[in-house]
A and B are shown apart, each in its own frame.
Chain A
């Protein structure tokens, strides 16, 4: 009822509301960046550039789902790759063996990820803080072992006649669309929707409860809120979006193997969210951009003959650089790299507008 009223008020003031938002610094920046991203494929149609941007958007969704769980609800998961993997495997399986269209498979993948999140969440959420991190890390490593197992592969093949488990995984999945531009635009829309839903959830009444749990769990449960229930809801929301990311990921890279469960991808989510600043869900878009950008630059730097043969050549590994980055960011810059940079930028913006 109240929500309805709120929506009505927002709707009535619709143009004005949007107008106000666009005139704030954040709003203006977001709108400009989104328009630029929307226009990109019309200007540059090289599959290489579009591919980089598609990867960037997929990582954004994945990191935003992690940031929602860690930054808003305060539940740090180190095994977020398992949601990516579960949904990725389901999507790949449905597309390859059931020949379902991609969007049904994507939805199914995300829903299975939610169910999986529920199954994992119930025992895992007995753990708090750091233990949850280690508990989820061990669960993702177990998923890795399980999907790598030769005997599981034989068993599954005997039962269903298809190849799912085992080191090869599922490969040969078609992309969303053979045209990179269409793929880009679809991924773009899904990313915008995911970020919109996640940021608005964080601002809603539900988000207030989540933030209360993050700040003081004992106090929240003393106020008569069932914290376990809400933590499980948060786990499910987060795994849904991680699942969407996983489905897109598998379709973009045209295959999936047990490597998707490695701590590596959980590490990616953490570093992207940390770069963009924790608790700022849309910050993960900037974080992912920086991450992908540095990754591509390092590929070029590594191939420069002068550097390739010098002693620092082998140090140009992206993961090596990023692990140092993550240590430095957590150690010295609690709010991430981009949040303070944006604030500087905002001061300049205010000066220009003469505020």
Chain B
């Protein structure tokens, strides 16, 4: 019993910190540019596959090279998605949604063609574990929580303290006024997509060793990010972090305490439906969805 509860707390926190990274990026892109990025799961997918490819084909240093190349690639792809696909269609919300959806689909096909469509596993970045009241706590778990929380803090500090962050907040408040004040709105929006891609990439590298690498993983990530952001409030950064932990603990609760892992897949949609009926603006959101 105590082991179940410990498992629930430990794995809930791990998943929570991963989802906080994912949801923060998703919410940032929406909050600043009003772009609902359907390719968010594809960012995760791309990094996971680059990481996996280097691990499989470069013995020894593959993991390190994979992490570096994967993070750089996903950041660049985030910028390219904005410049090539989103910017030309910025006036039409539906166009942005369809084109990013098509991009996500495209990436799923690319990994199928370039790698294969099988399921793969990855080793933990740090081997070894210690015993904690009968529960194995892997050092990798600690790595996940520490690195994702520090990256979260870093990104939030950038947004709140730096000059770029000031421009980002200005564009989020009123992009027309920001443009008149001499801020290059396009560049800021490209930055937000790059930050969101980077965060999704970090999440992929940390979480893939505990999960699987398969072509369809992007969709689950997208749905989870969306449900978290609906729960926390669209465009609210603190709301998305809070939502990430709530959803992850709910997930871990069904897995380890109720022992019904099949039903944890239903949590996101139940959350979406309840929130839409009861409180459409989310827990910490300021305005209604429109």
Contact = CB atoms under 8 A, between A and B. Distances in A.
Contact of A323 (B36, B85, B102, B223): B102
B269 A142 contact: yes
B108 to A, nearest CB: 8
Chain B interface SS verdict (over half) = helix
A139 B223 CA distance: 9
B280 A126 contact: yes
A182 to B, nearest CB: 36
Given A138-B223, A323-B102, A133 B97 contact: yes
Given A138-B223, A145-B265, A149-B262, A319 B105 contact: yes
Contacts of B94: 70, 74, 76, 129-130, 133
B145 interface: no
Interface string A315-342: 1010110011011001100100000000
Given A123-B277, A323-B105, A327-B106, A317 B272 contact: no
A353 to B, nearest CB: 37
Interface in B234-254: 234
Contacts of B89: 330-331
B98 A326 contact: yes
B102 A330 contact: yes
A127 interface: yes
Contact of A141 (B102, B223, B289): B223
A192 B287 CA distance: 45
B290 interface: yes
A290 interface: no
Nearest to B106: A323
A314 interface: yes
Given A76-B97, A141-B219, A131 B289 contact: yes
Contacts of B222: 134, 137
A331 B109 CA distance: 19
B193 to A, nearest CB: 15
Most chain B beta carbons < 10 A, residue from A124, A130, A267, A326: A130
A51 interface: no
A131 B282 CA distance: 13
Chain A contact residues: over half helix, strand or loop, or mixed?
helix
A123 B88 contact: no
Interface residues of B, number: 41
A331 B85 contact: yes
A128 B266 contact: no
B265 A128 contact: no
A270 B100 CA distance: 13
B98 A270 contact: yes
B143 interface: no
Contacts of A41: none
B97 A135 contact: no
Contacts of B290: 128
A131 B36 contact: yes
A267 B105 contact: yes
B121 interface: no
**Most chain A beta carbons < 10 A, residue from B102, B109, B220:** B102
A314 B117 CA distance: 13
A232 B229 CA distance: 25
B277 to A, nearest CB: 6
B109 A319 contact: yes
A130 to B, nearest CB: 4
A263 interface: yes
- Give the most central of B85, B105, B227: most A CB within 10 Å: B105
B262 A150 contact: yes
Interface in A71-126: 74, 76, 78, 123-124, 126
A267 B276 CA distance: 25
Contacts of A126: 276-277, 280, 289
B112 interface: yes
Interface string B271-290: 01100110010000000011
A137 B223 contact: yes
Nearest to B226: A134
A129 B92 CA distance: 10
Nearest to A314: B113
Interface in A274-331: 274, 314-315, 317, 319-320, 323-324, 326-327, 330-331
A19 interface: no
B14 to A, nearest CB: 22
Interface of A: 70, 74, 76, 78, 123-124, 126-131, 133-135, 137-139, 141-142, 145-146, 149-151, 263, 267, 270, 274, 314-315, 317, 319-320, 323-324, 326-327, 330-331, 334
For the complex of A and B, list the 8 residue pairs with the smallest distance between their C-beta atoms, beginning with the closest: A323-B106, A130-B36, A326-B102, A320-B109, A142-B269, A145-B265, A130-B97, A323-B105
9 contacts: A128-B290, A138-B272, A270-B98, A274-B98, A319-B109, A320-B113, A323-B103, A323-B106, A330-B99
Interface of B: 36, 38, 84-85, 88-89, 93-99, 101-103, 105-106, 109-110, 112-113, 219-220, 222-223, 226-227, 234, 262, 265-266, 268-269, 272-273, 276-277, 280, 289-290
